[in-house]
Structure 1
Amino acid sequence: MDLFHIVSEDRIKKAYQDGEFDNLPGLGKPLQLEDLSGIPEELRMAYKLLKNAGYTQEEGQLRQEMMTIEGLLKKCDDSTEKESLQKKLNEKLLRFNQLMSKRGVKTNSAIFKNYEHKVQKKIKY
């Protein structure tokens, strides 16, 4: 054992003897462990960090869907299909912004830049 380990053990024993652990929340109740069996072992720490920071699976999925739709928009030549994709993208952006506002995060107004240009074009004409 190294010195750090010995000092740590001594401090824990002293705190236990002084009763510092007697009033902890959940004392005498079973631990509620998360089931992380569906997450690869090497990604579990990253998953826990993101979850503790408030990131949700829905948020990640929305980001992925928005990126996919943006990629399709860049490749699309059909105006009807482009309009449909843009509508889907705007819906996803709206939902994403709702999630962000629940977390108290301000979203970048540049996200709606494309939509803003369309509105400005309609107003000018």
Structure 2
Amino acid sequence: QIAIANLYSFWYTNSDLQFSQIIETNPDCCLAYWGRAYTLIHPIWDYPTHRIDQGYSLMKQALSCVEKNYDTISPREKKYITALADFFVANHNKSNDLSVSEARAANIKILEKYMNDMKDIYDSYFEQ
């Protein structure tokens, strides 16, 4: 819960540390890799150009985690991970300059579909 709260409060360093600790204790928590990558995007201050490679690496780990644990991961989690992976892959490969606002729009579509059960993310995956 604290990792997500810090992420959405723009405390990126603290959030990254907390997501890292989650990965240490539970490497099959795919959303923790997503969370670490998400801390690299600072939409208010700057475009994450110098952090694209790190985010790309984290999202590769998240996608690998999804593949390994496919049957136990909810469709919602898969969509969140895929949406952020699309952002980092497109920018890493320079094949498409997917903007932060386009990535945000993809996340909003997911939020609209799963808005009533967002609490599940906190309760199921980030409680320690």
Q: Greater Rg, structure 1 or structure 2?
A: 1
Q: TM-score range by the shorter chain?
A: 0.3 to 0.5
